[in-house]
């Protein structure tokens, strides 16, 4: 029987994967993927909890997250394209002109 706990654990694992990805990935695109994973991990959780409580607001939240994630990635990709045009690289390490 798959209980709420399983969903939540899955959510947590996905979230951690996302976090690790955010930390480890050097490719900007991959980084965006990782943030998507983060958000979707939460989505799973919301859906599961929403079902558990029999309450719709969780699912609403999930929908909103999806919408926000979509617009977020649109902006993100726009920035990425801009950067790629300018430097020809999507490597994170190329973003180091400002420091200190």
What is the binding site for other proteins (CB under 8 A)?
A: 8, 11, 15, 18-19, 22-23, 25-26, 28, 31-32, 35, 38-39, 41-42, 45-46, 49-50, 53-58, 60-61, 64-65, 68, 71-72, 75-76, 78-80, 82-83, 86-87, 92-93, 95-100
50 near 59, Cβ under 8 Å?
yes
- In the complex, what is the shortest distance from the CB of residue 24 to other proteins, in angstroms, rounded to a whole number? 8
Cα gap 80→32, rounded to integer Å: 10
4 near 52, Cβ under 8 Å?
yes
* Complex with other proteins: residue 6 or 64, whichever CB lies closer: 64
């Amino acid at each position: 029987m798959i209980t709420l706990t399983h969903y939540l654990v899955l959510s947590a694992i996905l979230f951690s994967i996302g976090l690790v990805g955010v930390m480890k990935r050097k490719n900007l695109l991959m980084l965006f993927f990782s943030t998507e994973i983060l958000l979707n991990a939460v989505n799973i959780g919301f859906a599961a909890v929403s079902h558990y409580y029999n309450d719709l607001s969780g699912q609403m939240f999930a929908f909103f997250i999806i919408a926000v994630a979509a617009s977020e990635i649109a902006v993100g990709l726009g920035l990425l394209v801009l950067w790629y045009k300018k430097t020809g690289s999507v490597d994170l390490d190329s973003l180091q002109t400002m420091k200190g």
